[in-house]
Structure 1
């Protein structure tokens, strides 16, 4: 099957294998671009809406995970501190998008999905089917759901703005109630 085929199935033996595999690909990709990078750091930031885990290297954000309670490994990484500041501004309604460096990884289809999601305006939503059409595969709405489920860039790639066609919120890595709260918060602050 072609690389960008949204119906291509990944081999997954155990739930943890997929996460480890994605993490290892991300590290290999990072090391190929920045061979001088020694380690990834994890920064736990406590916000008004709970903890957020921020994973960085010296050059870019590797993950922003709502609800991540792991401890901080290196609190002095400037990019993580900047990400925390922007997240606080986002949660205060003073910022409508995070402006942080990151790389979009995956197949061409997955990249197109992520790009389409990053273009959803603050306070608005799009259905999985609309994102599938924007990515060039109008019948691949379930594949869009899989891309959103694998998203480790919460808030940076605002997958909480992708909902079911009937308007139901659907699943979210930070929990369905958290997704509903984010959508209501953005709708309230949209015109400010």
Structure 2
């Protein structure tokens, strides 16, 4: 029996990480040339590189958001989801600052009115919380539902936006 070994050429991505110190705790930012890949709550002890370039821009925009001076983000994002997830994430970006939508509303907006549970799963898989505002999605009855940063953070983000959207 002959075994053939093929060496595959790997395309290496230069992914960098940086830690942003938010009012809710440390957040881990991952980015590469061309855009931000993820923003999530950092695990205990996570270390990042010194921020420069794109990371500094993201940190400035997050500072402005938390100060109530930024309602949308201008940074380039590089999400890598399924076609369905990408539709959901695009719909999340369309939710106006200070407003909320239900999972059903998002499902209807993307043309899949019965897929509200799948919308919930795509929302949960959002790699760029805050930047892609999944915190603006609530239950059909108006209740706050799961959030990667925890429900207290979700409630605080919605209150921050409500406070600053009255202008």
TM class, shorter-length: 0.7 to 0.9
Say if 1:40 and 1:104 are closer, same or farther in 2 by CA, change over 3 A: closer
Q: CA RMSD in A?
A: 1.7
Say if 1:68 and 1:77 are closer, same or farther in 2 by CA, change over 3 A: farther
Within the alignment, does 1:106 sit opposite 2:81 as a pair? yes
Give secondary structure in 1 for the equivalent of 2:37: strand
Match 1:140 to one of 103, 107, 115: 115
The alignment's TM-score, normalised by the length of structure 1, stands at 0.76
In structure 1, runs of 5+ residues without a counterpart are 1-31
Say if 1:185 and 1:175 are closer, same or farther in 2 by CA, change over 3 A: same
Give secondary structure in 2 for the equivalent of 1:56: strand
* Distance in 1, Cα, partners of 2:24 & 2:82: 33
Q: Which has the larger radius of gyration?
A: 2
CA shift at 1:97, angstroms? 1.4
Match 1:71 to one of 47, 55, 59: 47
Give secondary structure in 2 for the equivalent of 1:172: coil
User: Residues 5-24 of structure 1, C-alpha deviation per residue, up to 9 Å, x if partnerless?
Assistant: xxxxxxxxxxxxxxxxxxxx
Q: How many residues align?
A: 157
**Bigger helix share:** 1
1:169 paired residue number: 144
- The equivalences for 1:171-190 within 5 A come to 171-190=146-165
- The equivalences for 1:47-126 within 5 A come to 47-69=22-44, 70-72=46-48, 74-126=49-101
Give secondary structure in 1 for the equivalent of 2:21: strand
